[in-house]
Chains A and B, each alone.
Chain A
Amino acid sequence: MITAFIHQFSSAKSFVNITEKLYPFFLIVGVSMLILGWTWGLLFAPQDAVQGNSYRIIFLHVPSVIFAELIYFFMAVCALMHLVWRVKLAAYLIKSAAPIGAMITFMGLLSGSIWGIPTWGTWWQWDARITSTLILFIMYLGILTLHGSFSNLEKADRLMSILVVIGVVNIPIIKKSVDWWSTLHQPASISVSGGSSIDPSMLYPLLISVIGLGFTLIALGILSSRSYIFTREKNKKWILEHV
Chain B
Amino acid sequence: MFNLAFDNFNEILDMDGHGIYVWSVYLIGISIIFLSFLIAKKRIVDIQKKINKKNASS
Contacts and interface: CB of A to CB of B under 8 A. Distances in A.
Interface of A: 38, 42-47, 52-54, 56-57, 60-61, 64, 99-100, 103, 106-107, 110-111, 114-115, 117-118, 200-201, 204, 216, 220, 223-224, 226-227, 230-231, 234, 239-240, 243
A203 to B, nearest CB: 11
Given A42-B22, A223-B37, A227-B40, A47 B51 contact: no
Interface string B36-58: 11001101100110111011000
Contacts of B25: 57, 60-61, 110-111, 114-115
A59 to B, nearest CB: 8
B26 A243 contact: no
30 contacts: A38-B26, A43-B6, A52-B18, A53-B16, A53-B18, A54-B21, A60-B25, A61-B25, A64-B29, A100-B36, A111-B25, A111-B29, A115-B21, A117-B21, A118-B17, A118-B18, A220-B33, A220-B36, A223-B37, A224-B40, A226-B44, A227-B43, A227-B44, A227-B47, A230-B48, A234-B51, A234-B54, A240-B51, A243-B48, A243-B52
Interface of B: 1-6, 12, 15-19, 21-22, 24-26, 28-29, 32-33, 36-37, 40-41, 43-44, 47-48, 50-52, 54-55
A114 B23 CA distance: 11
Nearest to A222: B40
Nearest to A199: B1
Which DSSP category, helix, strand, loop or mixed, fits chain B's interface? helix
B1 A201 contact: yes
B22 A57 contact: yes
A60 B26 contact: yes
Nearest to A224: B40
Given A53-B18, A227-B44, A220 B51 contact: no
Contacts of A216: 33
Given A53-B16, A53-B18, A114 B24 contact: yes
Contacts of B4: 43-44
Contacts of A45: 5
Nearest to B48: A243
User: Top 4 nearest A-B pairs by Cβ distance?
Assistant: A53-B15, A223-B40, A227-B43, A54-B18
A220 B41 CA distance: 9
Contacts of A201: 1
Interface centre among A99, A200, A227 (most CB of B within 10 A): A227
Nearest to B43: A227
A105 to B, nearest CB: 11
Contacts of B47: 227, 230-231, 234
A30 B30 CA distance: 13
A118 B21 contact: yes
Contacts of A227: 40, 43-44, 47
